[in-house]
Structure 1
């Protein structure tokens, strides 16, 4: 921690956050030391197979209820404090849970999208996830009640996917404007992040004097590229994460600990 404070002191920081930032809000991460094995649905599976889509929407209809009730934790609030004091240029987050915005962060790039919106793959119209929830409930009366007894034990993934098995009877909703396929406005595995969003994220990294990575294993290139970019530019890179990350080789300082406690201490000490 002392090394992290020494490296970041007096610098304007850009933060890159991952699922580990939200674990203390009750949203499990993908690759933390205590995380169960996960096999998220890919973009190709979703667009090519109706059965996969039905299975996804049934699970998401349950998981969305949980995501909708989560709240920011001390780590999210610490980043807000840093931004309010002019020490944080902004946040590039790999999370789709919107907890940074809920906490009060203003300059946030939701790299992988956001769970509260749905897009039609045909006409590209966007509607709120809350509106879709009303349609799905009407199309599937009694479905949520049928799994209510198990909700406390249902595992919710970071993209609001709930681990339930009985989904073959679930009826997904088509786009109400053109009848096309609806998809959450999040970037699936195997799908590319929109170019404009990537360029904005690189610009935000360039705007900072240092990069602070919090709660990401940096396993996928989507996040790792920003660490490599900062390192090539000669910017200090501080990584806060439980366990090893793919970006450790580029780290000026690595803090192997939970993000809530460390970010709160950084906000106090910087």
Structure 2
């Protein structure tokens, strides 16, 4: 059974209950920001981060303290949810808190045009499930800001998943210097002006501190 398959999720109650329960018990939901996440907060606070395009949907950048102004969640986020019928937004934490009472969450928003009857639409997390499109404007914003940047850093990505990986050649074509920080090699290493094959938890905070110091 697939947790992130939109067709299965919509198909029946049992699949939705399984998906919600699995997500609540998964390491993704219970994860906490690490040193690398906190380093990116420091970079933003220094006024040196204009785009944080991430394929991770764990909401750790938000938890760490990066702002919505710079974060682009290319594959959505588990931090928020919405009603698939009326589009009411929910904090996923609130849904998870009452999952034992309501294992198949539905929207309780009262609709004025229906005499205050509840919407009763299906609620899902804002993670992009298989079969769904990426969030509107996510790639366009990423391309636009990446091509205008002084530098582009690729942190911990194999650069094998598209369309996210295409940000690198697009930025390179615009003449933006590229740093790739990843333990393994990637198909776009030849486009990088700097390659860092070190533990991100150590290497990224170091790079952030050096960059801030150089630009004071």
Match of 1:175 in 2: 107
Tell me, yes or no, if the aligned pair for 1:83 and 1:90 is still in contact at 8 Å.
Answer: no
Which structure 2 residues correspond to residues 134-173 of structure 1 after superposition, within 5 A?
A: 134-139=97-102, 171-173=103-105
Report if aligned partners of 2:3, 2:18 keep a CA contact under 8 Å in 1: no
Q: Gapped runs of 5+ residues in structure 1?
A: 1-38, 140-170
2:209 is aligned to 268
Give yes or no for contact 1:224–1:246 (8 Å, CA) kept in 2.
Answer: no
For residues 179 and 40 of structure 1, do their structure 2 counterparts lie closer, same or farther at Cα, with a shift above 3 Å needed?
closer
Q: Secondary structure at the match of 1:218?
A: coil
Tell me by how many angstroms 1:209 deviates: 1.7
> Structure 1 length normalisation: TM-score?
0.65
Q: Choose between structure 1 and 2 for higher RCO, CA contacts under 8 A separated by at least 6 residues.
A: 1
Q: Which residue of 2 aligns with 1:100?
A: 61
Which blocks of at least 5 consecutive residues in structure 2 are unaligned?
110-118, 212-216
TM-score by length of 2: 0.79
What SS does the corresponding residue of 2:163 show, helix, strand or coil?
A: helix
Distance across 2 between alignment mates of 1:229 and 1:52? 39
Number of aligned residue pairs = 199
Is 1:223 matched up with 2:155?
Answer: no
The residue that corresponds to 1:148 in the other structure is none
Aligned position for 1:189: 130
Match of 1:89 among 26, 50, 65: 50
Q: CA RMSD in A?
A: 2.4
Cα displacement string for residues 128-175 of structure 1 (whole angstroms, at most 9, x for unaligned residues): 112212331224xxxxxxxxxxxxxxxxxxxxxxxxxxxxxxx42222
1:130 to 85, 89, 93: 93
